[in-house]
Structure 1
Amino acid sequence: MIDTLGDILRNNAYKFPDELAWVIGEDRISFRQHHDRAQQLASAVYNLGVRRQDRISVLSQNTREFMEIYSAGELAGYIVTTVNFRLAPPEMAYILKDSTPRVLFFEGRYTETVEQLRHDQPHIETYVCFGAEAPDWALSYEDFLASGDPSGAPSRPMPDDIMHLIYTSGTTGRPKGVMRTHRAEINVAQLMATELGVIVSDRMQLMMPVFHVGSRFLQLGAHLRGATVVFHYDFKPEEVVATIERERITMTHLAPTMVQAVLSVPGIETTDLSSLHTLCYSAAPMPGPVLRRGLELLGPVFLQLYGMTEGGGTTLHKRQHKPDGTAQDLKRLTSIGQAAPNVDIRIADDEGNELPVNQPGEILTRTTTHMAGYWNNSPATIAALRDGWYRTGDLGYLDEEGFLYLVDRKKDMIISGGENIYSREVEEALASHPAVLDAAVIGVKDEYWGETVRAVVVASEAVEEAELIAHCKTQIASYKKPKSIIFVDELPRLPSGKINKTILREVHGAPAPKASDNA
Structure 2
Amino acid sequence: MILGDVIERNAQCYADHPAVLFEGRSITHAEFYRRVKKLVNALAALGHRSQDRLAVLSRNCPEYLEVYGAASLGGFVGLGLNYRLSAKEQAGILVDAQPAVFFFEQEYAERAQELRQHLPGNVDFVCLDGAVAGALDYETLVAGGSEGALAFRAKEDDTVLLIYTSGTTGVPKGVMLGNEGQFEQARTQALSHAAAQTDRMLIVMPFYHIGGPTELLSYLVAGATIVLHRTFDAATILQSIQALRVTSAHLAPTMITMMLEVQEKTPYDLSSLHTVCYASAPMSVALSIRARAVFGPIFMQIYGMTEAGLGTTLLKHQHILEGTPAQTKRLASAGQAYLGTDLKILADDGSECAASEVGEVCMRSISVMQGYWQKPEATADAVKSGYLHTGDMGYLDEENFLFIVDRKKDMIISGGENIYSREVEEALLMHAAVSEVAVIGAPDEKWGESVAAIVVLRPGKQATADELSEHCRTLIAAYKRPKIVQFVEIMPRIPSTNKIDKRALRAPFWAGQGRQVS
Give the TM-score band, short-chain normalised. Answer: over 0.9
| 1:32-431 equivalences in 2 (<5 Å) | 32-122=30-120, 125-134=123-132, 136-151=133-148, 153-265=150-262, 270-310=267-307, 311-431=309-429
Alignment deviations for residues 266-305 of structure 1 (CA, whole Å, 9 cap, x no partner): 5766422111111111133333443333323322101111
Give deviations 1:134-186, integer Å, cap 9, x for gaps.
Answer: 1x221111122222212264101110111001111111101111100111101
CA distance in 2, matches of 1:327, 1:457: 29
> 1:71 and 1:264 mapped to 2: Cα distance?
36
* CA spacing shift, 1:329–1:105, aligned 2, 3 Å: same
C-alpha distance 133-77 of structure 1, shift in aligned 2 (>3 A): same
Secondary structure of 2:126's partner?
Answer: strand
Instruction: Tell me the CA shift for residue 7 of structure 1.
Output: 0.5
Q: Which amino acid counterpart does residue 201 of structure 1 have in structure 2? A: T
Q: Distance in 2 between matches of 1:282 and 1:162?
A: 24
Deviation at 1:368? 1.5
- 2:394 match: secondary structure: strand
TM-score, L = length of structure 2: 0.95
* Distance of 1:420 and 1:290 partners within structure 2: 26
- Which is further off, 416-425 or 403-412? 416-425
Alignment of 1:424-503 (within 5 A): 424-460=422-458, 461-494=461-494, 495-503=496-504
Answer yes or no: is the 8 Å Cα contact 2:54–2:77 preserved in 1.
yes
Q: Which amino acid aligns with 2:13?
A: K
For the residues of structure 2 that align with 1:222 and 1:40, how far apart are their CA atoms?
23
Q: CA RMSD in A?
A: 1.7
Q: Is this contact kept in 2: 1:363–1:391, CA < 8 A? A: yes
Moved more, 108-117 or 179-188: 108-117
Residue pair 1:204, 1:250 contacting (<8 A) in 2 also: yes
Partner secondary structure for residue 120 of structure 1: coil
Q: Residues 101-141 of structure 1: CA distance to partner in whole angstroms, max 9, x if unpaired?
A: 0110011111111121111212652101123441x221111
Query: Would the aligned equivalents of 1:62 and 1:232 in 2 still touch at CA under 8 Å?
Result: yes
Quick check: 2:175–2:373 contact (8 Å CA) kept in 1?
A: yes
Whichever residue aligns with residue 248 of structure 1, its letter is R
Q: Is the 8 A contact 1:101 1:123 kept in 2?
A: no
Partner deviation per Cα, 1:194-220 (whole Å, 9 max, x = no partner): 111101111111101112111211110
Residue ranges of structure 2 left out of the alignment (5+ in a row)? 514-518
Identity percentage over the alignment?
Answer: 44
Which residue identity does 2:503 align to in structure 1? T
Q: How far is 1:417 from its partner?
A: 2.1
- Can you list the C-alpha shifts for 1:390-442, whole angstroms capped at 9, x where unaligned? 10010001111111111111111112222221111111121122211111111
- The CA distance in 1 between the partners of 2:226 and 2:281, in whole Å, is 24
Letter paired with 2:476: I
Which amino acid in 2 is paired with 1:478? A
Equivalent in the alignment of 1:517 = none
3-state SS in 2 of match to 1:28? strand
What corresponds to 1:516 in structure 2?
Answer: none
SS at match of 2:388: strand
